[in-house]
Chain A
Amino acid sequence: AQTVTQSQPEMSVQEAETVTLSCTYDTSESDYYLFWYKQPPSRQMILVIRQEAYKQQNATENRFSVNFQKAAKSFSLKISDSQLGDAAMYFCAYRSVRGGGATNKLIFGTGTLLAVQP
């Protein structure tokens, strides 16, 4: 079974600075997707960025980028120029790409609570 581990329960960053959130995962599959989701106090889970395992190039979305190390099974999120609105719980998630009748549900880590200091 696949597992996702986030070892940083809480992180803090100064506004305009850069912060990196860590995530490791375990799988025997060779093809899969990895995601970072943001969950503000409103509870709405918002997709921040996604990475296809077969792509070597790290995904970027504006101020958000990932460092995907497939061999090490590591998938960290870097937030540049942090803004007050970035404060939220961040979840790393894994999804298989199996065919047939597989559900390919999202498997989440336990989350990292990010505080942004003005």
Chain B
Amino acid sequence: GAGVSQSPRYKVAKRGQDVALRCDPISGHVSLFWYQQALGQGPEFLTYFQNEAQLDKSGLPSDRFFAERPEGSVSTLKIQRTQQEDSAVYLCASSFTRDSEQYFGPGTRLTVT
């Protein structure tokens, strides 16, 4: 079956612009995670959804970051007024349940100029 997909694969934004990153999880997966991976670093947790409910947003670095999953499937990570420090790869992962294996998408590489 299809894996986790993310779009766009690459995004270049001028500082101050808003961006929206999309994640299509594996069908039927209840849990969805967003991670941020800075250059040369391991991924770091941003936020977690169980169905449409955002149960944990403790990793979001500022109030410029907003995520939603309104129908419990596709999720969007929005970054307002992008800054250079937002440049990173944003990874989405989904799992059948909270504690089952997380399957990762290919990520979106965001570059803020």
Given A44-B106, A45-B91, A47-B101: A105 touches B33 (CB 8 Å cut-off): yes
Ranked 6 nearest A-B pairs via Cβ: A108-B42, A45-B104, A105-B45, A103-B56, A43-B107, A103-B48
How far is A47 from B107 in the complex, measured between Cα atoms in Å? 15
Interface residues in B18-34 (C-beta closer than 8 Å to A): 33
Say yes or no: A103 contacts B55, CB within 8 Å: yes
Interface string of B25-58 (1 = CB under 8 A from A): 0000000010100001111110010000001101
How far is A46 from B101 in the complex, measured between Cα atoms in Å? 11
Interface check A110, CB cutoff 8 A: yes
Say yes or no: B33 contacts A42, CB within 8 Å: no
Say yes or no: A43 contacts B106, CB within 8 Å: yes
Which residues from chain A sit less than 8 Å from chain B, CB to CB?
4, 42-47, 50, 91, 93, 97, 101, 103-111
Give the residue name and chain of the A residue nearest to B103 (CB): A47
Shortest distance between the CB of A105 and any CB in chain B (Å): 4
Interface check B63, CB cutoff 8 A: no
Which residues from chain B sit less than 8 Å from chain A, CB to CB?
33, 35, 40-45, 48, 55-56, 58-59, 89, 91, 93, 98-99, 101-102, 104-107, 109
Given A47-B101, A97-B99: A107 touches B45 (CB 8 Å cut-off): yes
Cross-chain pairs A/B with CB under 8 angstroms, 28 sampled: A4-B42, A42-B106, A43-B107, A44-B106, A44-B107, A45-B91, A46-B104, A47-B101, A93-B42, A103-B45, A103-B48, A103-B56, A103-B58, A103-B98, A104-B98, A105-B33, A105-B48, A105-B56, A106-B93, A106-B102, A108-B43, A109-B42, A110-B40, A110-B41, A110-B42, A111-B40, A111-B41, A111-B42
Say yes or no: A108 contacts B44, CB within 8 Å: yes
How far is A76 from B42 in the complex, measured between Cα atoms in Å? 17
Not counting A45-B91, A104-B99, a sample of 20 additional A-B residue pairs whose C-beta atoms are within 8 angstroms of each other reads A42-B106, A43-B91, A43-B107, A43-B109, A44-B104, A44-B105, A45-B43, A47-B101, A93-B42, A101-B55, A103-B45, A103-B48, A103-B55, A105-B45, A105-B56, A105-B59, A106-B43, A107-B45, A108-B43, A109-B42
